[in-house]
A = this chain, B = another copy of it.
Amino acid sequence: MSIFSIGIDLGGTNLRIASFTSNWERRGAITTPTRVQDGPGAVLDDMCAAVEKLVAQCGGRGDLVGVGLGSPGPLELPSGRLVQPPNLPGFEDLELKTELENRLQVPVIVECDANAAALAECHAGAGKTFGYHSLCMLTLGTGVGSGIILNGRVWHGFIGMGGEAGHVPVYHDGLLCGCGSRGCLEQYASATAIARAGSRLVTIPDAASSGKLALTARTIAEAALAGDAESRQIYEGVGEALGIGLASLVSTLNLPLYIIGGGVVAAWELFAPTMFAELDRGSYIYRLTKPVRTTVPEAGKTNVLPAELGPDSGLLGAAMLPFFQSLSS
């Protein structure tokens, strides 16, 4: 057997644990509901039981490099303390790293889930495919997560809150965000924001008569693709907000690659045209460095691409953490 690590993806709904080799090949995986209502102790126990099972499958602890955990934010890093996770009530101030290390007696590295996903895209996704070591990834899901990778490593900022681009203000005095500020990107480009916009505006064909079709980012995308004008408009709004947010990131970071991931990216063709138009309008650096075609990355240019890895990028990124820690220490 060869060396391996264990990644844990702590979600508000599901807890996913998997083992990976140093080539990022998956060996084994366990998925179980996150028992949020049973409290942190129960969830930690579930994590540890799954880790032990996967370690045994891989031949024991001798070849285990470490355990990496991707968690919803905000987190304090590298201490690995959950601050006020909106989707994990009762988990406030949980010392994820310490609690897991005490239970498992192996090194555990905790990372924000969006950072873990960005790390995976860098080393096993679009970054690897096109040869970029620095990138910023926006994950459009329930919220808008983001992660910044500089020279192959996560940029944490001074207390682990670097790369919270979902809370970059895109419209001054815009919609109220769960974070308490107004006009955050998250309020315009998350699946939640799309569904909310839909509930106000959209008339999906057949939905009124059947009364059953749930308004989600996906059903609104389907309506848009079927030609519904208001649904199309909602996604154009997503693109505009993303373009403004990207203009801000491009002017600040000047990275060669920006990646859009998360469930909403399935609707790329619906939001990408306005996203690129707004980015072109909003950033002179982008205008100076845009590739000839937006679909083909170019060396020395500012490339914006959809994520290559699917929803498992956070899990893979979590498993990468012990390898990189091990390399740098």
> Which residues does A use to contact B, with CB under 8 Å?
74, 83, 134, 148, 150, 155-172, 177, 179-183, 244, 247-249, 251-256, 281-285, 287-289, 300
- A181 and B281 contacting across the interface, CB-CB below 8 Å: yes
- CB-CB under 8 A from A74, the residues of chain B are 285, 288
**Pairs across A and B, CB under 8 Å, 8 listed:** A83-B288, A158-B300, A159-B289, A167-B283, A177-B284, A181-B247, A252-B252, A252-B253
Q: How many angstroms between the C-alpha atoms of A171 and B161 in the bound complex?
A: 24
Distance, CA A254 to CA B154, complexed state (A)? 13
6 new A-B contacts at CB < 8 Å, known A157-B255, A181-B247 = A134-B158, A163-B252, A167-B283, A248-B248, A249-B252, A252-B253
The answer, among B157, B160, B163, B284, for a CB contact under 8 Å with A180, is B284
Residues from chain B with a CB closer than 8 A to the CB of A247 are 168-169, 181
| B170:A251 contact, CB within 8 angstroms | no
Which chain B residue has the least Cβ–Cβ distance from A163? B252
Find chain B residues with CB under 8 A from A157 CB.
253-255
CB distance from A81 to the nearest CB of B (A): 12
CB of A245, distance to nearest CB on chain B (Å): 9
Copy number of this protein in the oligomer? 2
Q: How far is the CA of A150 from the CA of B163 in the complex (A)?
A: 14
Contact A287 B180 (CB under 8 A): yes
Q: For A165, list chain B residues within 8 Å (CB).
A: 251-252
**Closest Cβ neighbor of A134 among chain B residues:** B158
Known: A168-B248, A289-B159. A179 touches B254 (CB 8 A): no
In angstroms, Cα B248 to Cα A251, docked, is 11
In the assembled complex, the Cα of A134 lies from the Cα of B203 at a distance in Å of: 50
Residues of B within 8 A of A252 (CB): 148, 162-165, 168, 248-249, 252-253
With both chains docked as a complex, state the minimum distance between the C-beta of A251 and any C-beta of chain B, in angstroms: 4
Neighbour of A168 across the interface among B134, B251, B300, CB < 8 A: B251
Is A182 in contact with B253, judged by CB distance below 8 angstroms? no
Give the chain B neighbours of A249 by CB distance below 8 A.
252
Interchain CA distance A167-B157 in the complex, whole Å: 22
By a CB distance below 8 angstroms, the chain B residues around A254 are 156-164
CB distance from A21 to the nearest CB of B (A): 31
Determine if B288 and A162 form an interchain contact, defined as CB atoms under 8 angstroms apart.
no
CB contact between A164 and one of B160, B182, B285, B300 (< 8 Å): that residue: B285
Complex contact B164–A251 (CB within 8 A): yes
Q: Complex Cα distance A282/B233, Å?
A: 27
Q: How far is the CB of A125 from chain B (nearest CB, A)?
A: 18
A251 touches B172 (CB 8 A): no
Residues from chain B with a CB closer than 8 A to the CB of A177 are 284
B248 with A169: CB separation less than 8 A: yes
Are the CB atoms of B244 and A158 closer together than 8 Å? no
A156 to B249, CA, bound (A): 14
